[in-house]
């Protein structure tokens, strides 16, 4: 008999991956499912990046790389950070990883001791809590609801800071809400860091380029706290490179070398030829990124328009990323086929079974009144999905 570790037994399965599995099962049974559950751009990786990978393979770029990534890629990342974010880092402060998710895990493992507290402004990305708990930390969720634009203020954060608080971790633009911290809001969080010199911020900026405001700020821009900020970013979203598994962090030398040490014992350096191609992603023509963002902008308008027709549903227009996070609690207590919808997971299942549209309940993102809908799908698919949801909702009883 196998007795699995408490670590894995206590871990929650990713709700997005669980929903993807469930809709795949229905698809295999021949059901025509429209999938709006995954955080994956529906575009192909731009050609110039693919050609760069082919070229790198052709030229024998197939060996182990340094754990932190090739010097050439780390230099390209430093140039990007200087050019786009106005922050200066040297190559020793960059650790390339197998995706932003790994960078977040590295940072949590490097910073958190069992019993330390990590504050997650909520709603938050599904994996944060599981990763922090793996590091033994206590997760402190601080919630902002739809009426607050899903943005937790610095005042609210401060009320929950204790002597054990070590890390604040957020994504901006945010998955699942699309909320974006502006410069003043980030300054207010930086001021909190000044008051509490033990606190670090892990700033997940993976949706940086998918920003409808046109301006992205990073808290690392404030020199007085920069040493305690870990910028996490990657190639999955902006360059539609989810399957390539490539991310990175920028941090103080001390934190970067701690992350290098952890990664060196677990996965080593990321894929060699992907790293060469990633230099092309950063330094090459950005026109494909702009096209993708324009398409996301059109889809955002479409989705917000369609949602506005649902009486009782509240949904701010997202400022970034490619998700909407409507409050659908007006449907709680209604029923279909004798099943009462009690929470967002029930509502997601109802939509899956009756409209054949896959979404994710908001519970695992920290807000059980909401539903996460990804608009990384064609306008045709989105319209069809909302037609089906409208029809299903009209059949609810109660």
- Which residues of the shown chain bind ligand PLP in the complex (CB under 6 A)? 39, 99-101, 125, 171, 175, 204, 206, 234, 236, 242, 247
Whichever of 222 and 244 has its CB closer to ligand PLP, that residue is 244
| Least distance CB 302 / ligand PLP (angstroms) | 21
| Least distance CB 205 / ligand PLP (angstroms) | 9
Q: Per the structure block, which two tokens stand in for 34?
A: 């429209």
| Least distance CB 250 / ligand PLP (angstroms) | 15
Give long-range contacts, CB 8 A cutoff, 24+ apart: 303-310: 303/373, 303/375, 303/382, 303/386, 306/382, 306/383, 306/386, 307/386, 309/390, 310/390, 310/393
DSSP 75-100: HHHHHHHHHHH-----GGGEEEESSH
Cis ω on the peptide bond leading into residue 123 (within 30° of 0)? yes
| Least distance CB 13 / ligand PLP (angstroms) | 15
Which three-class secondary structure state does DSSP give residue 233? Answer: strand
Residue nearest to ligand PLP (CB): 99
Q: Is 271 left (phi over 0), alpha (psi -120 to 50) or beta?
A: beta
Whichever of 131 and 146 has its CB closer to ligand PLP, that residue is 131
| Least distance CB 242 / ligand PLP (angstroms) | 5
Residues 6+ apart with CB under 8 A from 176: 123, 125, 321, 323, 325, 360, 362, 365, 370, 372
Whichever of 234 and 318 has its CB closer to ligand PLP, that residue is 234
Of 383, 381, 357, 382, nearest to 371 by C-alpha is 357
Whichever of 175 and 274 has its CB closer to ligand PLP, that residue is 175
| Least distance CB 123 / ligand PLP (angstroms) | 11
Whichever of 233 and 329 has its CB closer to ligand PLP, that residue is 233
| Least distance CB 105 / ligand PLP (angstroms) | 10
Tell me the C-alpha distance between 46 and 42, whole Å. 12
Tell me the C-alpha distance between 360 and 375, whole Å. 13
- Say if CB 206 and CB 176 are below 8 A apart: no
| Least distance CB 239 / ligand PLP (angstroms) | 11
Sole residue written with tokens 């960078």: 103
| Least distance CB 277 / ligand PLP (angstroms) | 15
Cis ω on the peptide bond leading into residue 173 (within 30° of 0)? yes
**374 bridge partner residues:** 323
Q: Is 230 left (phi over 0), alpha (psi -120 to 50) or beta?
A: beta
Whichever of 200 and 245 has its CB closer to ligand PLP, that residue is 245
Tell me the C-alpha distance between 295 and 323, whole Å. 13
Tell me the C-alpha distance between 380 and 368, whole Å. 29
Whichever of 206 and 328 has its CB closer to ligand PLP, that residue is 206
Whichever of 46 and 247 has its CB closer to ligand PLP, that residue is 247
Whichever of 235 and 331 has its CB closer to ligand PLP, that residue is 235
């Amino acid at each position: 008999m196998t007795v699995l570790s408490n670590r894995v037994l206590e871990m929650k399965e990713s709700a997005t991956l669980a929903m993807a599995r469930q809709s795949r099962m229905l698809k295999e049974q021949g059901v025509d499912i429209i999938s709006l559950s995954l955080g994956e751009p529906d575009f192909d990786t731009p050609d110039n990046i693919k050609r760069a990978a082919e070229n790198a393979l052709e030229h024998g770029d197939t060996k182990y790389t340094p754990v932190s990534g090739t010097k050439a890629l780390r230099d390209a990342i430093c140039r990007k950070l200087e050019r786009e974010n106005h922050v200066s880092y040297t190559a020793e402060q960059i650790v390339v990883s197998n995706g932003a998710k790994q960078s977040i895990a590295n940072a949590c493992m490097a910073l958190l001791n069992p019993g330390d507290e990590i504050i997650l402004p909520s709603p938050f990305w599904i994996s944060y809590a599981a990763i922090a708990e793996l590091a033994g930390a206590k997760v402190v969720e601080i919630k902002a609801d739809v009426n607050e634009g899903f943005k937790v203020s610095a005042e609210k954060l401060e009320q929950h800071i204790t002597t054990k608080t070590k890390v604040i971790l957020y994504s901006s633009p945010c998955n699942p809400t699309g909320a974006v911290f502006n410069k003043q809001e980030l300054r207010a969080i930086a001021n909190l860091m000044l008051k509490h010199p033990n606190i670090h911020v892990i700033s997940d900026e993976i949706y940086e380029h998918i920003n409808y405001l046109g301006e992205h700020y990073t808290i690392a821009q404030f020199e007085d706290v920069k040493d305690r900020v870990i910028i996490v970013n990657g190639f999955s979203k902006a360059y539609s490179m989810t399957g390539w598994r490539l991310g990175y962090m920028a941090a103080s030398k001390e934190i970067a070398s701690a992350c290098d040490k952890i990664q060196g014992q677990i996965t080593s350096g990321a894929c060699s030829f992907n790293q060469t191609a990633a230099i092309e992603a950063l330094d090459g023509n950005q026109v494909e990124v702009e096209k993708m963002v324009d398409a996301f902008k059109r889809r955002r308008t479409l989705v917000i328009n369609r949602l506005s027709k649902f009486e009782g549903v509240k949904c701010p227009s997202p400022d970034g990323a490619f998700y909407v996070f409507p409050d659908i609690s007006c449907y709680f207590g209604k029923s279909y086929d004798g099943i009462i919808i009690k929470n967002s997971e029930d509502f997601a299942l109802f939509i899956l079974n009756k409209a054949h549209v896959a979404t994710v309940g908001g519970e695992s993102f920290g807000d059980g009144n909401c539903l996460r809908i990804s608009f990384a799908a064609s306008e045709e698919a989105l319209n069809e999905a909302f037609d089906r949801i409208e029809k299903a909702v009209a059949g609810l009883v109660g």
